[in-house]
């Protein structure tokens, strides 16, 4: 391929990807995890408020700091989607125009499940980590010359999220090995000391994100050997590289499964190991980075045994980073068709299928029904309608799409985001009986007219449209009629509106 043809191919890839992404984001309804960030930053009027709001999140501050000015300028949660999409497109441009990958590999990377969907369409703090990783890989072409700049980027990378922190550790070790291999590590210079201090400061600041002792979300750690947890962490590696999503239902998100028995899985797993062994990076630094990242992510998912595809996808990011760094040393071979290895090719082809599947299903089905609920309320109810409902975590997305405060009946407070502490979010609150919620709503309705009850359920059973529940109180019998049901969200973020009246006899 001539240089002119290569440039044309690169622009075609970037423009097609950009168009596909914008269409997907336009159709994607944000759910509570995405709008949790918006609630945190939109409710923070000062830096002190921002720090206070994020103390139970378990994430470093970088993403919140970047989004906070956006929320101060724009009073619409769609702004966070626009901002995130800009970051995604910048990342895509780096991969297309600055990476050493072939045209085929660029297509497979960008349209893979993680780059197109999980980290492309869904607005979370993972994308900023990918962008920083790509910038580091670009500068790695001359690691010694760019030592301090790479260190600053590593400082930022470990502030992105917990899994970006782990990749940052792997890259930091690779940078140390790079200096040792080039025999420029000793004697130490001011640049080496400065770089080390920058990285160590980033690690320290990231450690401050550990939630306080009264946190109620993912507080446990595994410190002993447990075979079941080992299997969970090992399966995370498979899910991270090969996210085989379901095709028979739209509840595909966060599910990765291979419908085969134990023996076929063992044979396939062994075959993958053989292919992986012979196609891993041959460059010592790149291989060390990949192995270190895999080890760190595995150890973390073992000691903190909870994870979904968005977490395990960082195995794929580590693979891309390793081959990118290796490719920086072989850019003199422009005619190559494959630089990411046979295992990498298998991973990307599998993820291409998963990415197309996710893309199609997100266009066909609502990711969350929150936006539909908000639009319905705006059209069908008066502007002065007061909203109350349960449960607070489920209703976070409705609150921001509706641009209206909601009184959360599970905690009996107004709120703009979920505070994951024992007082505001626990199993008892999340399993609150409907009778308690109904009784609290009646008291709310007495002082707030007109009012509307909005319910989002954590578990089955859920009401059917038209179903009537009865609550007997000291001052009469109340009828709770499910007037409208919004069902079928990919995230199961479904909602139910209730018409509440006092019985006439």
> Which candidate, 495, 417, 411, places its Cα nearest to that of 34?
417
Q: How far is CA 52 from CA 43, 124, 145, 311, in A?
A: 11, 20, 39, 25
Helices marked H in 419-498 — which ranges? 427-430, 434-447
| Element containing residue 71 per DSSP (H, E) | helix 62-73
> CA quadruple 218, 223, 226, 229: dihedral positive or negative?
positive
Give CA–CA dist 316/115, Å, rounded: 10
Tokens of 232: 């969970």
Tokens of 362: 């997100």
Tokens of 489: 């969200």
By the 8 A CB rule, do 421 and 215 touch? yes
Give CA–CA dist 167/179, Å, rounded: 19
Give CA–CA dist 446/169, Å, rounded: 56
pLDDT value of residue 229: 80
> Which candidate, 66, 71, 107, 111, places its Cα nearest to that of 87?
66
Tokens of 24: 């997907």
CB atoms within 10 A of CB 192: 18
Give CA–CA dist 464/485, Å, rounded: 7
Give CA–CA dist 306/176, Å, rounded: 31
By the 8 A CB rule, do 491 and 477 touch? no
> Which candidate, 232, 319, 226, places its Cα nearest to that of 281?
319
Tokens of 221: 């750690």
Tokens of 96: 């297309």
By the 8 A CB rule, do 354 and 312 touch? no
By the 8 A CB rule, do 468 and 479 touch? yes
Phi, psi of 100 (to 5 degrees): -85, 5
Residues of the chain scoring pLDDT < 50: 333
pLDDT value of residue 266: 57
pLDDT value of residue 365: 93
């Amino acid at each position: 391929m001539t240089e002119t043809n290569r440039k044309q191919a690169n622009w075609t890839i970037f423009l097609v990807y950009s168009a596909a992404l914008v269409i997907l984001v336009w159709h994607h309804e944000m759910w509570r995890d995405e709008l949790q960030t918006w609630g945190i930053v939109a409710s923070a009027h000062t830096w002190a408020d921002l720090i206070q709001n994020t103390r139970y999140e378990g994430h470093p501050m970088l993403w919140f700091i970047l989004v906070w000015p956006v929320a101060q300028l724009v009073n619409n949660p769609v702004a966070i989607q626009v901002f995130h999409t800009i970051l995604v497109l910048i990342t895509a441009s780096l991969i297309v125009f600055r990476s050493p990958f072939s045209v085929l590999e660029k297509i497979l990377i960008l349209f893979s499940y993680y780059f197109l969907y999980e980290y492309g369409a869904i607005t979370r703090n993972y994308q900023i980590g990918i962008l920083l990783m790509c910038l580091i890989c670009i500068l790695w072409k001359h690691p010694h010359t760019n030592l301090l700049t790479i260190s600053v980027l590593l400082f930022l990378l470990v502030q992105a999220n917990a899994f970006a922190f782990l990749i940052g550790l792997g890259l930091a070790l690779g940078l140390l090995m790079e200096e040792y291999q080039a025999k420029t590590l000793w004697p130490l210079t001011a640049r080496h000391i400065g770089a080390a201090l920058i990285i160590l400061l980033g690690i320290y600041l990231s450690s401050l994100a550990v939630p306080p002792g009264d946190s109620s979300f993912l507080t446990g750690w595994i410190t002993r050997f447990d075979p079941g947890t080992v299997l969970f962490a090992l399966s995370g590696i498979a899910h991270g590289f090969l996210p085989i999503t379901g095709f028979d239902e739209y509840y595909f998100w966060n599910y990765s499964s291979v419908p085969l028995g134990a023996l076929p899985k063992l044979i396939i797993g062994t075959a993958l190991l053989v292919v992986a062994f012979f196609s891993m990076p041959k460059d010592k630094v790149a291989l060390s980075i990949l192995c270190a990242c895999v080890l760190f992510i595995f150890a973390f998912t073992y000691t903190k045994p909870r994870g979904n595809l968005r977490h395990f996808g960082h195995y794929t990011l580590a693979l891309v980073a390793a081959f990118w760094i290796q490719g920086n040393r072989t850019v003199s071979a422009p005619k190559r068709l494959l630089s990411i290895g046979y295992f990498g090719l298998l991973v990307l082809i599998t993820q291409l299928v998963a990415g197309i599947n996710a893309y199609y299903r997100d266009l066909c089905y609502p990711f969350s029904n929150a936006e539909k609920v908000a639009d319905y309320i705006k059209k069908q109810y008066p502007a002065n309608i007061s909203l109350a409902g349960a449960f607070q975590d489920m209703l976070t997305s409705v609150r921001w799409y509706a641009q209206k405060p909601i009184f959360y009946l599970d905690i009996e407070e107004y709120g703009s985001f979920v505070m994951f502490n024992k007082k505001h979010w626990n199993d008892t609150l999340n399993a609150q009986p409907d009778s308690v919620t109904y009784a609290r709503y009646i008291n709310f309705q007495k002082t707030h007219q007109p009012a509307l009850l909005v319910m989002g359920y954590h578990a089955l059973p859920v009401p059917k449209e038209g179903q009537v529940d009865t609550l007997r109180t000291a001052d009469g019998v109340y009828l709770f009629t499910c007037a409208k049901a919004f069902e079928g969200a990919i995230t199961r973020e479904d909602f139910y509106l209730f018409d509440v009246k006092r019985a006439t006899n």
